[in-house]
Amino acid sequence: MPQAKPAAKKKVEVSLTDQNGVVFTALINGKSWRKAEADVANFSDWGGAVSGKLGQPTANGFEVVEAGVRIFEEKPKEAATEVAAS
């Protein structure tokens, strides 16, 4: 999980960097962020997504407007078994 910094209006600021070094900064509702942190603590393997609208460019990347966060559990995939026909 990225580090969140407190922001105005009960929000937190989160910065994410993609594989090209572009930084996306999002303001997320504090309650949603705390729920996401709780989900991460409860799942052994997890993935996450930040959604929103691409906003204004910043010095290092872009801001994400109306951002939300979602954490989901990654379950191991079952190996497909082949049944031999006789």
Domain boundaries in the chain?
4-73
> Is the full-model pTM beyond 0.85?
no
pLDDT digits (tens, 9 = 90+) for 39-56: 999 998 999 999 999 999
d(CA 52, CA 48): 14
Three-class secondary structure of residue 40 per DSSP: helix
Q: What angle do CA 65, 8, 3 make, to 5 degrees?
A: 75
Between CA 62 and CA 54 the distance in angstroms is 7
- Extract the residue ranges of the chain whose pLDDT is less than 50: 85-86
Name every residue whose Cβ is closer than 8 Å to that of residue 33 and which is 6 or more positions away in sequence: 4, 12, 14, 69
